[in-house]
Chains A and B, each alone.
Chain A
Amino acid sequence: MIADFGNILLFLIHGALFVALSLFVAKLIRPHRPNAEKLMTYECGEVPIGSARVQFNNRFYIIGLMFLIFEVEILLLFPWVMVFQDIGWFAFWAMFVFVFLIFIGFAYELGKGHLQWDIPRPVVPKYVEGVGVVDDYPAKEPASSEPALDEPALQTGVNR
């Protein structure tokens, strides 16, 4: 049984060899004439501004986290698939409770809007007779009003 994994090891070795060999052959025969412009990071021909190590949206982190939780759930369902015929309804309810519990967390996340991307609201310019083009953009809130606390985008009905 475990010897079958040996074939997979062969695949791994062959794959790695193939990749390494083709990259090596390319290295031997290709020209190498670098200059400053070539080696610059591509930014549509401009000189790049700043480093690309920027901080990005932390939703990616949340996606990774949710993936982890659900991956564990799915992997724990696979053993269940193998044995549920033997154990019977008891196993079915056990699985059901498990999935339901995971779903509570999922529902919480979905309800909070964590899985929905922010979309900038389109600004449509409006033409008013005698005045000209008026920005329909909402005017600055008066300073007294409390700025809305940062719940991640709950109003994502736009643009779906």
Chain B
Amino acid sequence: MAEAEVNSYVVLGAALFMLLNSAAICVYAERRIASFIQNRIGPNRVGPLGLFQPLADVVKLLLKEDVTPVQGFRTIHTIAPMIPVVTALLTVAVIPFGDGIYVTDINAGVLYLLAAASLGVYGVTLAGWASNSKYSLLGGLRAAAQMVSYELPLGMALASVVIFVGSLSVVDVAVAQENWWFVFLNPLGAVIFIIAAFAESNRTPFDLVEAEQELVGGFHTEYSSMKFGMFFLAEYMHVVINSMLITTFFFGSYHLPFAGYWLPEMSTTAKAILDITVFTGKTAFFIFLFIWVRWTIPRFKFNQVMSLGWSRLLPLSILNFIVIAAILFAINA
């Protein structure tokens, strides 16, 4: 028992450390891939291949003057940027990175993930409201409405996965995919989940929140210095986390495709290394997908986002859920 405790603390520290670093790597990747797609060079001055660019960004943000509009609400203006970072960090607590490598395995892990996502709404809404700027207010409201709307298809897609597992523990979800990834069993759910995950992390094509042509900076118009840095960090942490969630729930978590059928027995260490490599590789692919989509697809209009979420994805996800339930009943009966 004591050994397991120590183990989970090691994973905890590693997870926290890696998540913060992966956000930095993600920023660098985004800029390099964007410049590749747009036929530019991108950051290449700081360090070899511009690898230390994120570090330079952080130093710059730390040294910038912080400006809070006098008419705004000072306290809430300061608290708001902390919320998305903390909720993003909370999410990673239940994600398994390998066979037996997880921080914590709670009985209601899937619901816990939803709860952490739903609390993230406060950050943007309060930021928009506390700035006392019209752009910020509109950006914050849009963000809240959008995140709230896409949480429903997200929840239904998760429910349609859990139906195969029969347990709300995320670790059980990962274990259940040893033979068949859920993307094969539930492809519609996977599509809905990926779309909703894009919308939840406020990335293009759903980045109405900071549509710069109409809203300047959206909810963070009035933010500068490290407070802006927090929002920036949170955005990339959400990209990383949503990639992890897509991997965990639909793309087999740490399992290779159909691993149960052909993968030979291995020693614990080798298995752990393989698991973590596979998990990281898949997550990296989905991070790449996030970036790829951002620099390829233009932004939707707000009415389109809303009508997609409410009159398409939500009924579709509920229908998907009911059909899957009926099929499972028919098979078991």
Q: Interface on A for B, CB 8 Å cutoff?
A: 1, 4-5, 7-8, 10-12, 14-16, 18-20, 22-23, 25-27, 29-34, 38-44, 48, 51-54, 56, 60, 63-64, 66-67, 70-71, 74-75, 77-78, 81-82, 84-85, 88-89, 92, 95-96, 99, 103, 106, 110, 115-117, 119, 156, 159-160
Contact = CB atoms under 8 A, between A and B. Distances in A.
Interface in B283-333: 301-304, 306-307, 310-311, 314-315, 318, 321-322, 325-326, 328-329, 332-333
A159 to B, nearest CB: 7
A30 B82 contact: no
Nearest to B302: A117
Given A41-B131, A82-B166, A1 B107 contact: yes
B262 to A, nearest CB: 29
A22 B226 contact: yes
Interface stretch (B61-69, B239-247, B272-280): B61-69
Nearest to A75: B111
Given A16-B82, A41-B131, A89-B329, A67 B69 contact: no
Closest 9 CB pairs of A and B: A26-B226, A117-B303, A15-B89, A7-B104, A15-B86, A74-B155, A4-B104, A67-B148, A19-B82
Nearest to B304: A160
Contact of A159 (B65, B166, B230, B303): B303
Nearest to B118: A71
Contacts of A29: 62-63
A19 B221 contact: no
Given A19-B82, A117-B306, A41 B225 contact: no
Given A23-B226, A42-B216, A52-B132, A60 B145 contact: yes
Q: Is the interface of B mostly helix, strand, loop or mixed?
A: helix
A46 to B, nearest CB: 12
B90 interface: yes
Contacts of B104: 4-5, 7-8
Contact of A78 (B70, B106, B162): B162
B235 to A, nearest CB: 15
A14 B89 contact: yes
A4 B109 CA distance: 11
Given A22-B230, A63-B145, 4 more contacts: A23-B227, A52-B134, A85-B332, A92-B326
Nearest to A44: B216
